[in-house]
A and B are shown apart, each in its own frame.
Chain A
């Protein structure tokens, strides 16, 4: 049983890609694809790391991030934001809300792995 990572993302192909990458690297990957119920999923078992997409059905990634930071249980969990919009504004917003890492799609596998490893080391 490796270290737990929670991937919140709605695109099935991207979920598959990241899951494949991280599990190969020794992570236990939990996935969730709905924004509305994402917080419940987090509270069931707080992961070591959260990868959070911005555009989710039901609830935006930013709102979830805000809740995560507000909840003392999860306030210190590293969060890596993924976004397909990639504008400077989005990055600033994410940082101000307390994102640990911000990554614009499309990303290279190496980038993801490096980031995850770096965050896990914190």
Chain B
């Protein structure tokens, strides 16, 4: 027989231990040695406040009543956690970059830092959470009652109420001590987090211990346990699809929307990467929490007398088996579940109440100058402390009023459905830029009303809040408003009915109103930031150039975030502005940063309002918004242009470099040409002068005289040809060439050219295909012949192989007639190929050329004048030139 006093002693000792743990954690954090306090395992364990006393005790009761359905409460969060990449990651990033303090702050901040929305979410959270807190108090007192009954004491209702009051009081002290140490709500509460992590271990250990005892100690192993399950009244598991899906959805959504879950998931998150660990570790925690629920329920049903409360099997089964130590451990587990939930929920609610209701109200009650003169810091701390007391008091009152009889699980689901009314606004706000505050407000109101009507009020029972008549016939005889058969649709499970209608109407109102109304500029900016958080990661500007004085700002900031922190902030800003040692300029960016900093303490809406008072009238307008957008667009365009420009510059530079190389090469070529032209002119002149000197002497034979005169004649012809070429090129280049158009065939032109170039019957073998050459041409035949002569002469000169051969190939390419001249000589070296068509250019081995290197330049000029082209064909096994005839060659001929 256990001493009841022992239980009380153990409980008090446990509480003292928790205080010590929290205190030590705060000390460590304060001394900066807090790395392990921010580890991912602490984070994962802190998430376990999802598992409340409802889970600890109620899940067994739930399983005893409805079989496996209790699992849905864990499966929903499992999906959310393993799907962290989808949504949680974004939520945590937003929470950190916007320094969010609560889920009300999230909604308020997203929708234009709206105070009204903050109040609405806060009210919703209080209404949804208070019964839940009451539930925790009830479960603790109930379990104490079990022990009392076991030890023979008879507990009156008054004793239970007294116990509940003491528990509530103890929790209030704990939360006050460790929840309001630092005002900045977005900072970690190391003490609380570590305490709930310890409690998480205790409750898991306790439940698993009871489970192991039940399976191996009572049932006799896994096999017999499964047999027992199949033989039990709960073996007829036939999941109702709508409930199964609905419960998974609600629990998953509640996991995101519960104020306490938002607190540990987002606000207390120290590092985004912890999510990836929690993504698998938290589902594992849930799995162990629920692994033994069914066995405990089944064994309890089998073991305990009919009528025993299955919600208390976790404690009552070990007690009935005489395992009092185990029972105390189980009690501590339940106690841990209850207290950790209450502490965090209270903290979250108190933050919401102080930031969204008390402080804005206090600010409104003051004259505009109050921000500077009033001591905001004290007000905020006081508000938060009062709120903690208030929330716990509310829970206690609810516990007293409800009488503490209803099944634990039922109230849990009602609470869940209530808080998930925030879901459409939250998800919509994070993924949809078009969501606005009117839509969010409408959705929240509609969802709240529908939930209240279809689930919250009916949950009190028939004839409690709603009369039987209302259940049966609707209010005022309006049949379609029956609480559990809206719009006359009957036959749905009441829970699914409430979830379905509240979610549909909530989301519908949210979207439709958002679509129909306009957001204000701040909303649009915030919306863009929330939705594209991974692009921004920093606050956009909400302020224009301000009239506010830096001094006023500093005074205000000191009053909110404390002197040292405010001064550090201002000094850092001054430093970054290059004004170290002075007050910083009040730039829009600085105001934005300051506002974010303040919002970490008092919430976005309040911070915004306070700054708004100082900077009066300088808040952003639609025009400013557009200006900001324009500026952004300009910056982007500018940077695009810069990119384009630098690319273009690079291109230009490259072109210039190429041109320069070409010019340098040409200049060298030109020098060479001048030497060459000098040589070409002087060589015939030397002969002419020399022989004319000789001719002037008398004593010459007639034969010699005739011969020398012949030489003079030839050489002067050579000079003339050279001058002709030069002039020809000059004329062609100036574009003043006169074309003498006429009809003919390609064959005739080639015939003439071969003959004139002296290739006919010489060493060079010319191979042609007459069939292909029967192409009628209408062009300047003389000029075309000149081109061909040049090309054939080149082959004659340069194809220096034992059996030189020139192939003249006529063909049609892409609708144009081309003539290729390919010889089997050494060809043109690669490095010279780009040069050969330049005038003044000639291959190095000039001796054989006999010309001044003008031939190919002339060819190109002629072909250009005719409307065709001549190019060098590389890699043909010799020198190869392609003459592309003018486009209209054939057509014009017809």
A and B in contact, CB less than 8 Å: yes
The answer to whether A14 touches B679 (Cβ under 8 A) is no
B486 beta carbon closer than 8 Å to chain A: no
In the complex, B142 has a CB within 8 A of chain A: no
Distance, CA A105 to CA B715, complexed state (A) = 14
Chain B contacts of A13 at CB under 8 A?
684, 687, 691, 711, 714-715
Pair A106/B682 contact, Cβ less than 8 Å: yes
Whether the pair A57, B715 counts as a contact (CB closer than 8 A) is no
Which residue of chain B has the shortest Cβ distance to A104 in the bound complex?
A: B682
Chain B residues in 8 Å Cβ range of A58: 847
CB–CB A108/B693 < 8 A: yes
Report the separation of the CA atoms of residues A84 and B691 in the bound assembly, to the nearest whole angstrom: 17
Contacts of B847 in A (CB 8 A): 10, 55-58
A105 and B686 contacting across the interface, CB-CB below 8 Å: yes
Q: In the complex, are the beta carbons of A107 and B686 less than 8 A apart?
A: yes
Query: In this assembly, does A64 line the interface, its C-beta being within 8 Å of a C-beta of chain B?
Result: no
Q: Are the C-beta atoms of A57 and B848 separated by less than 8 Å?
A: yes
Residues of chain B lying within 8 A (CB to CB) of residue A42: none
Q: CB distance B682 to A84 under 8 Å?
A: yes
Contacting residues of chain B (660-684) with chain A, CB-CB under 8 angstroms: 675, 678-684
User: Which residues of B are found within 8 Å of A11, using beta-carbon distances?
Assistant: 683, 686-687
Nearest B residue (CB) for A87: B675
The count of chain A contact residues (Cβ–Cβ below 8 Å) is: 24
Is the CB of B388 closer than 8 A to any CB of chain A?
A: no
Q: How many A-B residue pairs have CB under 8 A?
A: 67
CA distance A9 to B687 in the complex (A): 12
Given contacts A10-B847, A13-B711, A16-B711, A55 and B679 within 8 Å (CB-CB) = yes
Residue of A nearest to B846 (CB): A55
A51 CB, nearest partner CB in chain B, Å? 13
Q: How far is the CA of A56 from the CA of B683 in the complex (A)?
A: 12
B680 — which chain A residues lie within 8 A by C-beta? 84
With A13-B711, A55-B847, A57-B847 known as contacts, the answer to whether A84 contacts B686 (CB < 8 A) is: yes
A95 to chain B: closest CB distance in Å?
Answer: 18
**B524 CB → nearest A CB, Å:** 78
Q: Is A105 in contact with B685, judged by CB distance below 8 angstroms?
A: yes
Q: A55-B847, A106-B682 are in contact. Are A14 and B687 (CB under 8 A)?
A: yes
Interface check B309, CB cutoff 8 A = no
A86 and B678 CA atoms in complex are apart in Å by: 8
Q: Are A17 and B687 in contact (CB under 8 A)?
A: yes
Point out the residues of chain B lying under 8 angstroms from A16, CB to CB.
711
Closest Cβ–Cβ distance, residue B677 to chain A (whole Å) = 10
Chain B's closest residue to A109 (CB) is B693
With the chains together, A104 CA to B683 CA distance in Å? 10
Within the complex, what minimum Cβ distance (angstroms) separates A89 from chain B? 10
Contact of A106 among B689, B694, B846, B848 (CB under 8 A): B689
Of residues 712 through 762 on chain B, the ones whose CB sits less than 8 Å from some CB of chain A are 714-715
Set of chain B residues within 8 Å of A20, measured between Cβ atoms = 694
Instruction: Give A21 to B681 CA distance when docked, in angstroms.
Output: 22
CB < 8 Å: which of A14, A21, A87, A108 contacts B683?
A14
A110 to B696, CA, bound (A): 13
CB distance from A84 to the nearest CB of B (A): 4
A119 at the A/B interface (Cβ < 8 Å)?
Answer: no
Q: Is the CB of A84 within 8 A of B683?
A: yes
* Secondary structure dominating the interface of B: helix
Contact B694 A84 (CB under 8 A): no
Given A11-B683, A14-B683, A109 and B690 contact (CB-CB distance below 8 Å): yes
A107 neighbours in B (Cβ, 8 Å): 686, 689-690
Contact partners of A87 in chain B: CB under 8 A: 675, 678
Interface residue B688 (Cβ < 8 Å from any Cβ of A): yes
A contact patch SS:
loop
Contact of B831 with A by CB under 8 A: no
A43 at the interface (CB under 8 A from B): no
User: How many angstroms between the C-alpha atoms of A22 and B693 in the bound complex?
Assistant: 14
Q: Does A97 touch B at the CB level, under 8 Å? A: no
Nearest B residue (CB) for A53: B683
Q: Are B682 and A109 closer than 8 Å at their CB atoms?
A: no
Query: Quick check: B688 and A106 within 8 Å, CB to CB?
Result: yes
Interface centre among A14, A21, A105, A110 (most CB of B within 10 A): A105
A85 in the interface (beta carbon within 8 A): yes
Give the chain A neighbours of B684 by CB distance below 8 A. 13
Q: B803 at interface (Cβ–Cβ under 8 A)?
A: no
Chain B residue numbers with a CB within 8 Å of A10 are 847
Q: Given known contacts A11-B687, A13-B715, A107-B686, is B845 in contact with A85 (CB within 8 Å)?
A: no
Task: Fill in one digit per residue for A1-32: 1 if any B CB lies within 8 Å of its CB, else 0.
Answer: 00000000011011011101100000000000
B465 shortest CB reach to chain A, Å: 116
A108 to B697 alpha-carbon distance, docked (Å): 13
The chain A residue with its CB closest to the CB of B847 is A57
Q: A11-B687, A17-B694, A55-B847 are in contact. Are A105 and B711 (CB under 8 A)?
A: no
A105-B675 in contact (CB<8A): no
Residue of B nearest to A56 (CB): B847
Complex Cα distance, B694 from A87, in Å, reads 27
Q: How distant is B798 from chain A, measured CB to nearest CB, in Å?
A: 13
Chain A residues within an 8 Å CB radius of B678? 84-87
Q: Whose C-beta in chain A lies nearest to the C-beta of B685? A: A106
- Whether the pair B683, A105 counts as a contact (CB closer than 8 A) is yes
Chain A residues in 8 Å Cβ range of B714? 13
Q: How far is the CA of A102 from the CA of B177 in the complex (A)?
A: 112
Q: Which residues of A contact B686 (CB under 8 A)?
A: 11, 14, 17, 84, 105-107
**Pair B846/A14 contact, Cβ less than 8 Å:** no
Assuming the contacts A55-B846, A58-B847, A86-B678, asked whether A17 and B683 have C-beta atoms less than 8 A apart, the reply is no
Please, what's the 1-or-0 string for B369-393, where 1 marks a CB less than 8 Å from any CB in chain A?
0000000000000000000000000
Chain B residues near A21 (CB-CB < 8 A): 690, 694
Interchain CB contact under 8 A, B845 and A57: yes
What is the CB-to-nearest-CB distance from A61 to chain B, in angstroms, rounded to a whole number?
Answer: 12
Q: Which of B675, B691, B693 sits near A85, CB closer than 8 Å? A: B675
Q: Is B675 a contact partner of A106 (Cβ separation < 8 A)?
A: no
Please pick, from A56, A84, A108, the residue contacting B689 in the complex, using a CB distance under 8 A.
Answer: A108
| Chain B residues, CB < 8 A from A55 | 679, 846-847
Residue numbers in A under 8 Å from B690 (CB-CB):
14, 17-18, 21, 106-107, 109
Partner of A109, one of B675, B694, B715, B848: B694
Most A C-beta atoms less than 10 A away, residue of B682, B711, B714, B845: B682
B690, closest chain A residue (CB) = A17
CB of A62 to closest CB in B, whole Å:
13
From residue B702, how far is it (CB to closest CB) to chain A in Å? Answer: 16
Nearest CB on B from A20, distance (A) = 7
Contacts of A110 in B (CB 8 A): 693
Task: Name 26 interchain pairs, CB-CB below 8 A, sorted by A.
Answer: A10-B847, A11-B683, A13-B691, A13-B714, A14-B683, A14-B686, A16-B711, A17-B691, A18-B690, A55-B679, A55-B846, A55-B847, A57-B845, A57-B848, A58-B847, A84-B679, A84-B682, A84-B683, A85-B682, A104-B682, A105-B682, A106-B685, A106-B686, A109-B690, A109-B693, A110-B693
Q: Can you add 4 more A-B contacts, CB < 8 Å, to A11-B687, A85-B675?
A: A13-B684, A58-B847, A106-B689, A108-B689
Closest 4 CB pairs of A and B: A57-B847, A17-B690, A84-B682, A13-B687
